[in-house]
Amino acid sequence: MVGEAYFSDADHLHFSFTSTITNKTSLSSSARSSFSSDESPTVTPTLHRNRWDPRFAAIKAAADGNLQLSHLKLIRHLGTGNHGRVFLCQLKDHDGAAFALKVIDRDLLNGKKLSHVETEGKILSMLNHPFLPTLYARIEASHYTCFLIDFCPNGDLHSLLRRQPWKRFSLPAVRFFAAEVLVALEYLHALGIVYRDLKPENVLLRDDGHIMLSDFDLSFVADVFPTVNLLRCRTRSRFAGGGCFGFAVGTDDDEEVVVPEFVAEPVTAFSRSCVGTHEYLAPEVVSGDGHGNSVDWWAFGVLIHELLYGTTPFKGASNDVTLQNIVSSSRQMKSLHVAEAGISEAKDLIDKLLVKDPNKRLGCTKGAQDIKRHPFFDGVKWPLIRQCKPPAVAGWTVAKRRPVGQKEARWPCESTAVVLERTR
C-alpha cells in the first residue's frame, strides 16, 4: 500500500520515552469550545498515595513501575479537546482496568499552548478527590505528552442534557449534579486552583453515576489562606424525602448551635487572561478588568441555569451578542417557566450567583460554604454525598461497581503507535 503513514509494531520499539507513575489514589468532544489568550503560571505538584485503588496495583504489576506506551492498547477514540485527543485504553495484560489516555502532540502547539499543557499536568498531579480525575501516569514519548487518567463511560453532562425529553433536567437531578460540582469546586479552591472552564461538556459522568470535572489547561493557581470560623446556626430536626438529598424541615425542637466552619477560598487570585467558553464568561473577564476566584461562581450559576432550563441565560445569536448580553446592565433572562417544588429557591440561587459585581456575588468571600447554606441545598447531607444514589435520568445507565480484575467485553484494537500516528 503506497503512502501509508503508520508506525509498525517494530517502529514502535524505537520510541524513546520515559514515564512517571503518580503516588496517589473520559472525555467526549465538546459542543462549545473553550479559548484562551494568555499563559498560566507554574504550579508545584503535591503527590498523594491511595493504596486502595486497584488500578495502581494493575499498572505496577503490568509495567513493574515503569509504564510505557507499549504496555497500553488503544480501544477507541473518545473525543478531541483544546490541545489533544483522548482514547479509551487498557493495559495489554489486564482487561479489567480501563483508562482514558489524553494524548497531546507537542509539535502541533505553540509556546503558549505548551504552557497550558504543563499547567494541566501539574494540576492533575495535585488532585486527590472522588469528583476529580486521578493522574495514574504521565508518559513522554517522542513528541507526545500523554496523561493516563480515569475513564468515565457515561459521557458528559452536555450530551446527557441533550437527550432529555425537554432538553432539561428535573429539579432533583439539577440539585444532585450541582451539589457534586460544588464540592469539586470547593476542593479546587482549597488548593488555590481557579478552574475557569466550568460547563456541562467538562462535567463527566462516572460509571456509578457521580460526576468528575475534566480539563484543567485553562486553570491557574493562586495563594490561599485557610481559616476556621465559628458559625451559629439552627439544627434541622428532620428531613422530608429519603437519602442525602431530602428537603430540610424545621420543627419546634430546632435549637441554635455553634459549629466550626472551614473556609479556604483563593480570594487574592488575580488574572487578566481572557479564557473560557463565551456563554460561561463572567462580566469581569469580558471587560478585561481582571478576575479572580469569583469567575467560577458565576459559571456555577450559568451551569445551574442551563441544567434547569436547557439553555444559558445570556446566549445570543452570535458570540459577540452573547458577550454584549453578559456585560449589559440588565439580565437577558429567557421566558421559560418550570413548575416544580423548589424552583423559587433555584431561581434565587441563580440570581445571587449571576451578580455582575464580583465583590457582591455569592461565594466570592467564603466560597462554597456560603453557597451550601442557600435554601436550594437545604437537606443535602454534605458528608454523605459520595454515597448518595444518583437520580433517575433518561438516557443513561448507572452500573454496579465491577471489580477491576473482572473481565469485560473486548474490542478490536491496534498498536498504540499506529493509532496515534493515524489520528495526527
Active-site positions read: 197
Q: For residue 190, what is its C-alpha cell?
A: 482549597
- Distance (Å, rounded) from C-alpha 409 to C-alpha 403? 14
| Rounded Cα gap, residues 130 and 143, in angstroms | 31
- Cell numbers at 221, concatenated: 493557581
**Residue 113 CA, distance from chain mean position:** 20
In the chain, how long is the greatest CA-to-CA distance? 83
CA distances from 305 to 246, 291, 301, 315 (A): 21, 22, 6, 12
Those residues whose C-beta lies under 8 Å from the C-beta of residue 387, and which sit 6 or more positions away, are 244
What does the block give as the cell for 168? 432539561
Contact yes or no for 157/307 (Cβ under 8 A): yes
Residues forming beta bridges with residue 89, ordered by sequence position: 74, 99
- Which residues sit opposite 77 in a β-bridge? 87
- From the CA atom positions of the chain, what is the Rg in Å? 22
Which residues have CB under 8 Å from 313's CB, separation 6+? 302, 305, 331, 332, 333, 334, 350, 354
Half-sphere exposure of 125 (CA within 13 A, CB side): 20
102 is in an annotated binding site: yes
Residue 309: CB atoms within 10 Å? 21
CA separation for the pair 364, 294 (Å, rounded): 5
Query: What three-state secondary structure class fits 185?
Result: helix
381 CB-near residues (< 8 Å, 6+ apart):
244, 245
Ramachandran region, residue 351 (left: φ > 0; alpha: ψ -120 to 50; beta: rest):
alpha
Binding-site members for ATP are 102
Binding-site members are 102
